[in-house]
Amino acid sequence: MIDLILLPGKEKSLQRFHPWIYSGAVSSVNGQAENGETIRVINSSGDFLAWAAYSHLSKIRARVWSWEREESIDRMFFRDRLASAIALRANTDLSCAVRLVYAEADNIPGLIIDRYGDALVIQFLSAGAEYWRQTIAELAMELTGATRVFERSDIEARRLEGLTDRSGLIMGDNSRSTVEFLENGAKFEVDIIAGQKTGFYLDQSKNRLIMRGYSSGCDALDCFCYTGGFTVNLLMGGAQSVLAVDSSANALAQAQKHVCMNYLDPSIVEFKEADVFRFLRELRDRNRSFDLIILDPPKFAYHTSQIERAARAYKDINLLAFKLLRPGGKLATFSCSGAVDEALFQKIVAGAAVDARVHAQIVEHFHQAQDHPIALAYPESAYLKGLLVKVV
């Protein structure tokens, strides 16, 4: 067994069950560990701390699998961990989409598994998860009864782990890469191979339903609409019109398809391919106004060093949105940047309202859906926050 020995005093975060061991905390490794191999973590006095997956390149040098000395990290271990993550989502109907495993927050660092109907989409994001790739794929199929398992391990995070991109079918039926599913009674379809991320932003599912309840009779503007998750819900809730904006033509084409798949009236929806930052200014200059605006931008801050720039971007779009709202109108505004916490986000939105010279009240606080749990020991798992504000 290869031991990773920590520098004196560097075990504090591990004792609080945070699963990461940074390279700066490591004194030495007594052997040549393969990338992703399980190693034993000990403190400077030689006491056992944890079993972890070694990552030879990443600044996060190891991620903890278990704090139990008696544990063996093997097929049974992953079976148990996967089964308990799946059990947490046991009440999700098979026709729906759900995040079954949310990495560190589900005690399986570096592993994300989403289920869309009968298909699984796995992301192996760390060397440790990659090391157990085949075992995990087999177990996931066995435990869920899925008929096909895809991989979308083609995101930036893998490069930091010394892993190359990989995507495609791992096992099962390879006749098609599209799958239909329901979300709160609305029908959607993803192309698992061609879609962004794992195809659909599942973290917003309950917020889309909440917004359905606020849309009756509204002229709505859905900014960063992607494949129309909010647009479909606004229409289902009885919106009078929706203007849906995104910079991706492919996403807009799929959004249009989703409107039709749900038998909603396409004549009251306008899809606009544009940069939201510019388009909001254009709408302001044309004196357009709305009863309801959604702002669901992509992540602006990937790191704490980008907070300031992100804050400016959030302020900019929120300020413009406030200017486009009719009296009594509502703005649903989100941030999925983990580095921008809830308090800061609220401050930014408040600053935007002041600069737009509007008075507004918070009507709802939004968070990520329950299938994206937040581990108390790993606060980084909380990233999506939002506010519904009403201008008075």
Q: Which residues bind ligand SAH (CB under 6 A)?
A: 201, 204, 224-227, 229-230, 246-248, 251, 275-277, 296, 298
Q: Is 184 exposed, middle or buried (0-12, 13-18, 19+ CB in 10 A)?
A: middle
- The number of angstroms, rounded, from the C-alpha of 360 to the middle of its chain's C-alpha atoms is 28
Smaller CB distance to ligand SAH: residue 126 or 204?
204
* DSSP, res 299: P
Smaller CB distance to ligand SAH: residue 11 or 203?
203
Tell which residue, 110, 125, 179, has the closest CA to residue 149. Answer: 179
Phi, psi of 143 (to 5 degrees): -75, -20
- The number of angstroms, rounded, from the C-alpha of 107 to the middle of its chain's C-alpha atoms is 17
Smaller CB distance to ligand SAH: residue 189 or 246?
246
Nearest residue to ligand SAH, scored by beta-carbon proximity: 229
Smaller CB distance to ligand SAH: residue 177 or 247?
247
Single-letter residue type at 190: V
CB of residue 232 vs ligand SAH: minimum separation in angstroms? 9
Please spell the DSSP secondary structure of 38-50, one letter per residue: EEEEE-TT--EEE
How far apart are alpha carbons 47 and 40 in whole angstroms? 10
Smaller CB distance to ligand SAH: residue 93 or 275?
275
CB of residue 111 vs ligand SAH: minimum separation in angstroms? 22
Order the strands of the 166-172 sheet from edge to edge. 97-102, 111-116, 119-124, 148-153, 166-172
How far apart are alpha carbons 99 and 197 in whole angstroms? 13
CB of residue 284 vs ligand SAH: minimum separation in angstroms? 16
Tokens of 300: 């602006």
Q: Are the C-beta atoms of residues 116 and 200 closer than 8 Å to each other?
A: yes
> Which strand (E) or helix (H) includes residue 23?
none
CB of residue 223 vs ligand SAH: minimum separation in angstroms? 7
- Report, as residue numbers or ranges, the catalytic residues: 336
CB of residue 233 vs ligand SAH: minimum separation in angstroms? 9
